[in-house]
DNA sequence: CCCTGATTCGC
DNA sequence: GCGAATCAGG
């Protein structure tokens, strides 16, 4: 794809709105997130603010020209070590908190015979967090604030998780019995 | 492993 | 100029 004026314009717009490079790449289409990031740099657009301290601490420039990658010079790596310090009484992780709130989340078009069906907890993903392997089953009203996607893992290349797969595609017989 | 942005450098 | 490969970090 070419960086037409219009595409560049859209890139600038979305970037300034804070969308991630991968998301912008997805909206533009035909380009990778790397392409987007590269373009952002070439355009001298402001990068993302680094929260707090860890600024780009002078990187070693990259191991001298690995042009013909003979898979050799990548043996030893400086073992980075940090004291993974978590405050003694650290609270719940984001995931743990989310899990709790997901209790009454689903507003799915649940089948009448849902009693026996286990409705999986959704990960409440935003549109910007969907990937090739996340369930894209929408939950809630798109016009509503709490609109989100299932986001559970979906089998290779499938748009839905195993649960929503059944809702998306049902044998006519079963569907008829359901109504 | 999923993701993020940053950088280098062959093309 | 472009962007894959790579790095560093969450």
For the CA atoms of A95, A100, A102, A103, the dihedral, rounded to the nearest 10 degrees, stands at 160
Closest Cα to residue A121, out of A142, A111, A141, A135?
A135
Closest Cα to residue A163, out of A96, A100, A106, A125?
A106
Whether residue A135 is predicted with pLDDT greater than 80 in this model: the reply is yes
Whether residue A11 is predicted with pLDDT greater than 90 in this model: the reply is yes
Whether residue A27 is predicted with pLDDT greater than 60 in this model: the reply is yes
When the pLDDT of each residue in chain A is averaged and rounded to a whole number, the result is 67
Taking the alpha carbons at both ends of chain A, their separation in whole angstroms is 47
Structure tokens at A23: 């998301």
Taking the CA of residue A122 and the C1' sugar atom of nucleotide B3, their distance in angstroms comes to 19
State residue A128's pLDDT score: 62
What residues does each domain of chain A span? 5-42, 127-178
Tens digits of residue pLDDT in A47-71: 887 644 343 444 455 554 444 444 3
Return the closest nucleotide (C1') to the Cα of A41.
B6
Q: How confident is the model at residue A100 (pLDDT cuts 50, 70, 90)?
A: very low
Taking the CA of residue A44 and the C1' sugar atom of nucleotide B6, their distance in angstroms comes to 13
State residue A49's pLDDT score: 72
Return the closest nucleotide (C1') to the Cα of A25.
C3
Average pLDDT over residues A136-158: 80
Q: How far apart are CA A61 and CA A119, in angstroms?
A: 50
Taking the CA of residue A131 and the C1' sugar atom of nucleotide B2, their distance in angstroms comes to 9
Question: C-alpha distances in angstroms, A37 versus A2, A15, A29, A65?
Answer: 15, 10, 14, 21
State residue A148's pLDDT score: 80
State residue A125's pLDDT score: 62
For residues A120 and A116, which has the higher predicted lDDT (pLDDT)? A120
Closest Cα to residue A21, out of A31, A33, A7, A12?
A33
Taking the CA of residue A171 and the C1' sugar atom of nucleotide B3, their distance in angstroms comes to 36
pTM of the predicted model as reported, rounded to 2 decimal places? 0.52
State residue A99's pLDDT score: 44
State residue A101's pLDDT score: 41
């Amino acid at each position: 794809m070419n960086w037409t004026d219009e595409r560049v314009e859209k890139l600038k717009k979305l970037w300034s709105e804070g969308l991630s490079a991968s998301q912008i790449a997805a909206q533009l289409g035909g380009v990778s997130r790397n392409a987007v990031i590269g373009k952002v740099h070439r355009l001298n657009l402001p990068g993302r603010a680094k929260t707090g301290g860890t600024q780009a601490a002078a990187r070693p420039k990259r191991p001298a020209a690995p042009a013909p990658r003979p898979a050799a010079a990548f043996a030893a790596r400086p073992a980075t070590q940090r004291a993974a310090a978590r405050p003694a009484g650290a609270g719940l992780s984001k995931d743990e908190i989310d899990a709790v709130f997901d209790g009454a989340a689903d507003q799915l078009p649940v089948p009448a015979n849902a009693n026996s069906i286990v409705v999986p907890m959704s990960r409440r993903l935003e549109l910007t967090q969907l990937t090739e392997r996340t369930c894209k089953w929408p939950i809630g009203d798109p016009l509503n604030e709490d609109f989100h996607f299932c986001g559970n893992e979906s089998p290779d290349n499938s748009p839905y998780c195993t649960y929503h797969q059944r809702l998306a595609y049902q044998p006519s017989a079963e569907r008829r019995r359901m109504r």
